[in-house]
Every structure is written in C-alpha cells, then in structure tokens.
Amino acid sequence: MAILDTVSSPSDLKKLSEQQLEQLAGEIRQFLIDQVSVTGGHLGPNLGVVELTIALHRVFDSPRDAIVFDTSHQSYVHKILTGRASQFGTLRQKGGLSGYTDRGESEHDWTESSHASASISVVDGLAKAFALKGQSHRNAVAVVGDGALTGGMCWEALNNLSADKERNAVVIVNDNGRSYSPTIGGFSENLSKIRTQHGYDELMEQGKKRLKSLGWVGERAFDALHAVKEGVKSTVIPTEMFPDLGMKYVGPVNGHDLEALDHALTYARDYEGPIMVHVVTEKGHGFEPAVNEPNDQMHSTGAIDPVTGVPIGVDQPGWTAAFSEEIIAAGEAREDIVAITAAMAGPTGLTPFAQRFPDRFFDVGIAEQHALTSASGLAMAGLHPVVALYSTFLNRGFDQLLMDIGLLRLPVTLVLDRSGVTGSDGPSHNGVWDMAISTIVPGIQVAAPRDGTRLRELFREAIAIDHGPTVVRFPKGDLLEDQEPLDTLADGVDILHYSDNKDDSSADVLIVSVGAMSARSLAAAQMLEEDGLNVTVIDPRWVAPVAQSVVALAADHDLVVTVEDGTIRGGVGSLISEALGSAEVDTPHRRLAFPSFYPKHASRGQLLEDVGLAPDGMAEQINQWVSTIVNAHNELND
C-alpha cells in the first residue's frame, strides 16, 4: 500500500518514520506529475516544495498554527496533506479544486488571493491578533518565495514584524532563484551570495566523515552536532541578509533534506519572537523536464506528456505572440521605445524584445507600483515606455497610474495581457476590473482590440500618442478570427454588422461590442434578426474616451446594448451611459457585462455563459429588454 494512501491529515505525518517520509515525498512528486500533466497547473513550484511542505505540517499544528502561502500557487502539496488528494482530477475546473488556497475548501487554507508579496503582512496581522487574544502558543507562518521578496509590500511587512520581539511569527523564504522567471535585483544577488558561501557546509561535511569513522560513538556525536547545525549557522551568515531588521535568522537550509528541515522548523516554532528561515530549494525538483526548462514553461503548464514534459496539442497563434512581434517591430522603427515588466517577461511576450534590445528592457521584479513610476521617469526623459502586465496586476499599480503618469500626462503605454475573464486561475487572476480602473484616469485612452489585426493597429496607434497614457488590453488564449469591418467611421469606430433588409416596423438595436466579445455579439445579432429585430453591431476600438459616432448612432436606434467582458460596475457601459446623458440622448441603454462579484475558477467560456454572455443568453436578454421597451411605449400611447 502506498504511504500517500494513508495520509489524509497533517496528524498522519507524525506517525511516519524517516524512511516512510522519504517514500512519501517520492510518491507525492509522482502524484503531482501524473495529475497536473492531465489538468494543467503550477507544476514546477509544487515539485520544489514537497519536502518543505511535509516538514511544515509535521512541525507546526495546522490549522491552529496558521500557514500562509504567498501567492499560494505552490500549495498543491499542502492540499494533498490536508485531505484533498482525491479531488485533484478536478484541479482548476469548474466546481473543482482551486489552483490556489481557498478558504471555502479547507480550514487549513487561510487566504485565497493569488497576488504575490502579501503573506508576510497577513502573518503580521495574525501574529498581532494571537498575541492580543493571549494565544501565545499559536504560530503564524509565511511561506514566501525569493521572487515575492522583490515586492515592496514584503519589506513594509518585515519592517513592522521585526519591531515586536514578543510575537510568534515565522517567515520561511523559499529560495529557488526564480519567481515566474529568474529573480532579479540586488536582493537576489545577496541571496545568491549566501547560497554560495560553502565554507560552513564543507567544514560540516569534513567533520561528519571524521566523526563517523569513529564508529557508533562518532555517529552519536555527529547527530548531536547536526541538531545544533541551524542554530550555529544562524550566527555565521545572518548579517548578509537583514542587518537592520533585527530578526533572528536561520539558514540556509537544504529544502530537500527532511531532517535538516525538521531541525530548522522546530527551532523556529519554539523560538519566541519573529524569525526568518532561509530554505534553498530547486524549482521542479525530481522532474528533469521542469528543472531543465530554460523558459520556465513548467511554472504553469497545460496538459503535458508526464514523461517528457512536452505540451499536448498544437498551440494556435496567441494574443501574446502577436503583441510580442509588434513591439519588436516598434523597437526596430523607434529608438525611444523601451519595455518594462514585473517578473513576467516570458508570459507577457517581452522575452524576444529583451533578447533583441537588452539595453532597452527592464524587469523590475514583482513590483508593479515601481514599474509604473519608473516608466514615468523614462517618459519624462523623452522615451516611450511600454509596460506589459497581466491585467489583474494593474490593480496594484493604480495609484501610480493615476498620480505618477496620468496627472503628468506622460506618454506611457500599458499593455494588459489576460484581460477580462481568464478562467481557470480563479477569482484573483481574472482581469475583469481593468477597464473600470483605467478609464477613470483623466485623459487616458483605452483600446480593446477584437482580433490580431486590430491588436497590431491599436498598439501602433497607442505608441504614437505623445500627450498622455494609453492602454491596450486583450484576453488570454488563442487569437480570434479576424472580423473585418463593413465600414470604419471618421473617428475610428468599426461597423461590423447592420441589418440589410431593415423592417421599419421592428425595433432597431445598437450593440456596442467591446474587444474580444465581437464574435459573440455577431452571433447574438444573427439570432435577434431571426426574431425580427433590426440590429447594428459596432466595435469602438478605443473605448475611452467615448467616440462621438457612438453617441450619434445611439440616437438613431431604439435600444443601445453594450457588451463587455469586464465588470458591469464602472466599465465601458458606464462610460457610454454618461456620454449619452451628457448629449441628452434618451435612447434606452442596457449593459451586458460581468456582474460585480469574484468569479470562481472555470473556463472562460463557462464563466461567460453562466452570467448570460454566451450568444443565446445575450439574445434572450436583449429580446426581453426590447419587449419591455415596446410594451412601455404602447402603454404610453394608449
């Protein structure tokens, strides 16, 4: 019987011998490879923390002791050890297991946001609460990657955490030299320096050989020496990392050595006050394709071959790839184009630009706020920065966009990948807020391309604007089929469809389709025409500011409907309502958009269908609105 089959809670780990624990680690690693190769998910990060997570749950008493995983994409082993192994076939699928910690799944999950660098702040608050409630026996533990420590929020939290020597807070730095990509900056270089200081380890190895050569007496002596190993090491190296914080430091510890981890974490658990444990791990450990993947595609993967790691299925041209080609072309044409990303050069398509123009590419680490304000400085000096982020991470840089870029009317272009409903990564990775957030910045111009051709056009238009910030946002996944316009109006609005055989007795409906919703809008329009309505479908291309032709067309129709994959509150529909009101256009306006709630993990199509944004759902809702308007009109005439 497999050891894994006997483990359904952290308490089961305490019954296992060292040999059984080693076997369990191997079984978990193979389980992860087998399961994630089918469903997709964060494989590399979880393979790297197998032993660390086992040790955490052996030493600490979860959930009494709070274990908080930063970002929590590396929580799969935690889920397995807390009784959820049988659910892994549903990982990241609708109604199934989340790819991150989820408070609704288990009492062992304390958080569920997938945004990095927040765990130490959470632990700071938990430790304060435990102390105030007189629960000095409880520990709060943050498991944070070295990549997340490039985020300023971590340092704000450490500054506060280290000020109170009475609170039991443990910060475990999971140091594998990578975030989504290799960790950058002075902090990373400092960690690397610590990792390579082998003088202490070499002495330990020499001592081990000499003592064990003396037989069982020597082995006993070595065991005693090993038991104090981490305490000794904490006095040897700590000043290299946190000279001014005053936190106790233990490390570096081999993150794949269960015995070493047990000693270090036990010391940390029993220590009174804040303490940092520096654990060195290998991302993808135990699966050669993940360890040797140069572009870190095993960080988050789709379905793969469980032996070779080769992706299953043929990749179609994607939005990210189209942007990647276009920014290289822009860089070749203009020397003032520079690119910035926040630890995600590969996922945002900037790696080829970095290879082509290394001096004009800047990876600032997981620091979106700094990325945007640094871009403002670049723009002040006469360059045109392109900041490529996942849409969900724009949330973190809003103040900088509003005050450091927008207020100064600086020419900075934000390219937001994974905008709108993204699906399987769950609520905190969805990009449904970007249009609501960005369009309230005075003077900003926001573009939403519907296909690859429009992405290229709109990006070129965006970087040509020199009097203020611009945004180009597009969804996750494969490019949609190009939808060529029937006509393009003077202010750039595309007419995608209008009813050829217009029935003057039928209601005229104007659908304002935003970005990648065009195919759905056109399909809904066909259904509406079959129901006897006259339908015009337009794509504004630039959704902010609202084009005057949109207002003029609205005045010529009986109903205006905006369709967008962003949140309904404060989105493009809100902008158009304001524009119609200002122009005193009284055409009824209705909005089809994502409701104001946090969407759970499921596919993009499933989530859109659930909220009425599939073509049939859109058509049904529009028919109901038309009926209501017609009935109200008839009653008024009667």
pTM of the model: 0.86
**Is the CB of residue 594 less than 8 Å from the CB of residue 436?**
no
Query: Alpha helices, DSSP H only, in 40-92?
Result: 43-47, 50-59, 76-79
User: Rounded to whole angstroms, how far apart are CA atoms 389 and 416?
Assistant: 5
**114 appears as a binding residue in the annotation:** yes
pLDDT band at 204 (very low <50, low <70, confident <90, very high): very low
User: Rounded to whole angstroms, how far apart are CA atoms 258 and 249?
Assistant: 19
pLDDT at 440 over 70: yes
pLDDT at 304 over 80: no
Q: Please write the tens of the pLDDT for every residue from 589-599.
A: 999 999 988 88
Cβ-defined contacts of 373-382 (< 8 Å, 24+): 373/400, 373/404, 373/405, 374/340, 375/340, 375/405, 375/410, 375/412, 376/400, 376/404, 376/405, 376/408, 376/410, 376/412, 378/338, 378/340, 378/412, 379/405, 379/410, 379/411, 379/412, 380/408, 380/410, 382/336
pLDDT band at 214 (very low <50, low <70, confident <90, very high): low
**549 appears as a binding residue in the annotation:** no
- Per domain, the residue ranges of the chain are 18-197+237-291, 319-473, 495-637
DSSP track, 180-199: SSB--SHHHHHHHHHHT--H
**257 appears as a binding residue in the annotation:** no
pLDDT at 42 over 90: no
* Assigned CATH class of 319-473: alpha beta
**Whether the domain at 18-197+237-291 and the domain at 319-473 fall into the same CATH topology:** yes
**105 appears as a binding residue in the annotation:** no
**116 appears as a binding residue in the annotation:** yes
**Is the CB of residue 450 less than 8 Å from the CB of residue 518?**
yes
User: Rounded to whole angstroms, how far apart are CA atoms 67 and 265?
Assistant: 13
**Is the CB of residue 128 less than 8 Å from the CB of residue 136?**
no
pLDDT at 59 over 70: yes
Active site residues: 283, 368, 396
**368 appears as a binding residue in the annotation:** yes
Q: pLDDT over 90 for what percent of the chain?
A: 66
pLDDT at 226 over 80: no
Neighbours of 451 (CB within 10 A): 22
User: Rounded to whole angstroms, how far apart are CA atoms 465 and 629?
Assistant: 41
For domain 495-637, give the fold: Rossmann fold (3.40.50)
Cβ-defined contacts of 303-312 (< 8 Å, 24+): 303/37, 303/38, 303/39, 303/40, 304/36, 304/37, 304/40, 304/43, 305/37, 306/33, 306/34, 306/37
- The predicted structure's pLDDT at residue 200: 41
Amino acid code (one letter) for 635: E
pLDDT at 228 over 60: no
CATH no., domain 18-197+237-291: 3.40.50.970
User: Rounded to whole angstroms, how far apart are CA atoms 34 and 366?
Assistant: 30
Which position has the higher pLDDT, 36 or 194?
Answer: 36
Most confident of 166-170, 202-206, 313-317: 166-170
